[in-house]
């Protein structure tokens, strides 16, 4: 049914989608080399009542802004956390309503997932997402087109950084993966829900001061793309 199905691992090998690439599928933010360093922390699959507030507290302590890709169903259950994310000036992105593998759905079902995800967010807070991230990083060309047609930017994450927090690899390994691969415009993927995320919280607590000491600023995706990208 789909002409080409991509998953993130395969995409990592596909140079067409490097960085800002053809401008359609975004992995890293390409920034001018002007001495300023920015990194985008992104958290998928929340809100979660245990982990999201801990991450928000850490971000607040370091005056850091991040982007949360919201699981619509949980936005309905924990609307107050969605409101807190927005009131603390973080960005939220659409991550569908029920987190399906999109390539198992037809395009009308995909559209419904995106609309329902948006509606769930809007039931918590007045907000219109401008970013979309596909569950599991799995998609096809047709899905990218559909997402664009619905006026979202198609957002993945930096391919040269495999934090893989869902595998619970240990805090030290995740910190090392981030610090050894971070560069200006990196988009770091982590998860604030979907299982035990103690390691993720601990990793955030460790990388914030290190990245800060390396002169990185923590910026939301849209803010960085809108204000600082070249071309």
Binding-site ranges for Zn ion (CB under 5 A):
44-45, 135
Q: Is 191 a catalytic residue?
A: yes
Residues ≥6 apart with Cβ < 8 Å to 14: 6
Rounded alpha-carbon distances, angstroms, from residue 18 to 23, 28, 190: 10, 8, 20
Residue 31 vs 188, nearer CB to Zn ion: 188
Residue of 28, 44, 165, 192 with catalytic role? 44
Contact 47, 78 (CB under 8 A): yes
Residue corresponding to tokens 């928000």: 56
In angstroms, what is the minimal distance from the CB of 95 to Zn ion? 5
Catalytic residue among 28, 38, 191, 192: 191
Q: Which is nearer to Zn ion, 19 or 100 (CB)?
A: 100
- Among 141, 84, 85, 150, which Cα is nearest to 114's? 150
Q: Report the candidate in 113, 59, 54, 138 with the shortest Cα–Cα distance to residue 91.
A: 59
- Residue 217's SS3 state is strand
Beta carbon of residue 43, minimum distance to Zn ion (angstroms, whole number): 10
Nearest approach, Cβ of 44 to Zn ion (angstroms)? 4
Task: Select 43 or 216, whichever has its Cβ closest to Zn ion.
Answer: 43
Query: How many angstroms from the chain centroid is the CA of residue 161?
Result: 13
Query: Least distance to Zn ion from the beta carbon of 14, Å?
Result: 21
Distance CA 92, CA 105 (A): 24
CA max distance for the chain: 49
Rounded distance between C-alpha atoms, residue 141 and residue 153, angstroms:
14
Answer yes or no: 90 catalytic: no
By C-beta, is 28 or 165 nearer to Zn ion? Answer: 165
- The nearest distance, CB 218 to Zn ion, in angstroms, is 21
**Which residue number is nearest to Zn ion in terms of Cβ?**
44
Beta carbon nearer to Zn ion, 184 or 203: 203
Give the catalytic positions in this structure.
Answer: 44, 191
């Amino acid at each position: 049914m789909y002409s080409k199905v991509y998953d993130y691992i395969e995409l990592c090998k596909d140079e067409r989608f490097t960085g800002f690439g053809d401008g359609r599928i975004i992995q890293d933010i390409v920034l001018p080399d002007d001495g300023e360093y920015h990194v985008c922390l992104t958290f998928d699959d929340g809100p979660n009542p245990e982990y999201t507030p801990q991450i928000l507290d850490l971000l607040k302590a370091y005056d850091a802004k991040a982007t949360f890709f919201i699981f619509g169903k949980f936005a309905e259950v924990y609307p107050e956390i969605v409101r807190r994310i927005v009131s603390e000036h973080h960005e939220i992105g659409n991550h569908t309503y029920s987190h399906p593998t999109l390539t198992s759905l037809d395009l009308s079902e995909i559209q419904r997932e995106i609309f329902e995800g948006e509606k769930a967010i809007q039931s918590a807070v007045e907000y219109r997402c401008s970013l979309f991230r596909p569950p599991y990083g799995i998609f096809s060309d047709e899905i990218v087109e559909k997402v664009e047609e619905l006026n979202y930017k198609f957002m993945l994450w930096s391919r040269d950084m495999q934090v893989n927090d869902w595998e619970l690899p240990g805090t030290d390994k995740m910190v090392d993966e981030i610090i050894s691969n971070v560069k200006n415009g990196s988009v770091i993927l982590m998860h604030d829900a979907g299982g035990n995320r103690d390691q993720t919280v601990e990793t955030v607590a460790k990388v914030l001061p290190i990245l800060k000491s390396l002169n990185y600023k923590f910026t939301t995706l849209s803010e960085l793309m809108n204000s600082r990208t070249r071309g």
